[in-house]
Amino acid sequence: MSEVDMAVIKPEMMKSYIWLQTADGSIQQVEQEVAMFCPLICQEVIQKGMGSSKNYAISLPQRVNPAMLSLILDYCRFHQVPGSSNKERKSFDEKFIRMDTKRLCELTSAADSLQLKPLVDLTSRALARIIEGKTPEEIREIFHLPDDLTEEEKLEPLKNTTDDPRIRLLNRLYAKKRKELKEREKLKNVESEEERVDERSVDDLLQFINGGERDSKGTKSSKNKKKNQRKKDQLKDTCPIESIKTDKQV
């Protein structure tokens, strides 16, 4: 290629590309500077030298299907370009997350598996707004979770073996709701104690009080009787001895 030909080549045509393979096995070529905005892809290129050709395509995590990869690359294309104002970025982000809950969940998982934290934070906040103020039943319906548990069981932490950001978000919310549930139960118990009123009549109360006094007097009288009886028994025991002493003296 002559120097004249090189001079007319546009900058876009000089871009470097890398190869990516999604979970379904399809392989596509992507602008390197865009793809490397994802930390996981960046590590694969720098540390392992992957992505340089179709034969060495970077295998993406299971949760990154072609549709999710396309969305993530759109996000990266905008945010990797310097010079955007905060207002422009905010406007882009607000429009970007306008999608149904199922798709938003899938995007959160895919972004998390690529270690793209800014996008994970963005989608997690969107999910948090969706489930804010919802009951456990409504939350489980949104995320298609089983609903055959008690209220306490529904708020138990979910197992998160794959470190799914949706589960992390739910567990944080459940921890908050468990605390609120305990506080409500505690308040109910206090109110229940306060509502316990003595419903006995005045006559019943007087009879109870007087009866208590009689019982008290009766107890004291019984103790005195027992004490006197012990003294009498002691005198009886000592009498024979005294009589023997008297006989000897005589």
Average pLDDT, the chain: 76
Mean pLDDT of 241-250: 44
Q: Report the pLDDT value the prediction gives residue 181, as an integer from 0 to 100.
A: 74
Q: Which residue type sits at 37?
A: F
Mean pLDDT of 48-73: 94
Quote the pTM value.
Answer: 0.56
Selecting from 1.10.1270.20, 3.30.710.10, 3.60.110.10, 3.40.640.10, what CATH number does the domain 17-143 have?
Answer: 3.30.710.10
Using left for φ > 0, alpha for ψ between -120 and 50, and beta otherwise, residue 84 falls in: beta
- The Cα 130–Cα 108 span in angstroms is 14
Angle at 11 between CA 9 and CA 14, to 5 degrees: 80
pLDDT, one tens digit per residue, over 32-50 is: 999 999 999 999 999 999 9
Q: What 8-state DSSP symbol labels residue 18? A: E
Chain centre to alpha carbon of residue 64: 25
Q: Report the pLDDT value the prediction gives residue 72, as an integer from 0 to 100.
A: 97
**CB within 8 A of 54, min separation 6: which ones?**
19, 27
Question: With bands split at pLDDT 50, 70 and 90, how would you rate the model's confidence at 189?
Answer: confident
CB 114 within 8 A of CB 38: yes
Residue 20: beta bridge partners? 28, 58
Q: Which residue has the higher pLDDT, 140 or 148?
A: 140
Mean pLDDT of 189-196: 64
pLDDT, one tens digit per residue, over 147-168 is: 655 565 556 665 666 666 766 7
Domain range annotation of the chain = 17-143, 155-192
Mean pLDDT of 14-25: 88
- The Cα 20–Cα 38 span in angstroms is 12
Chain centre to alpha carbon of residue 235: 80
Sign of CA dihedral 180, 185, 187, 188: positive
Q: Report the pLDDT value the prediction gives residue 7, as an integer from 0 to 100.
A: 42
Lowest mean pLDDT among 55-69, 112-126, 172-186: 172-186
Among 14, 135, 102, 30, residue whose Cα is nearest residue 72: 30
Question: 182 pLDDT exceeds 70?
Answer: yes
Q: Report the pLDDT value the prediction gives residue 13, as an integer from 0 to 100.
A: 46
Sheet arrangement for strand 58-59: 27-31, 17-21, 58-59
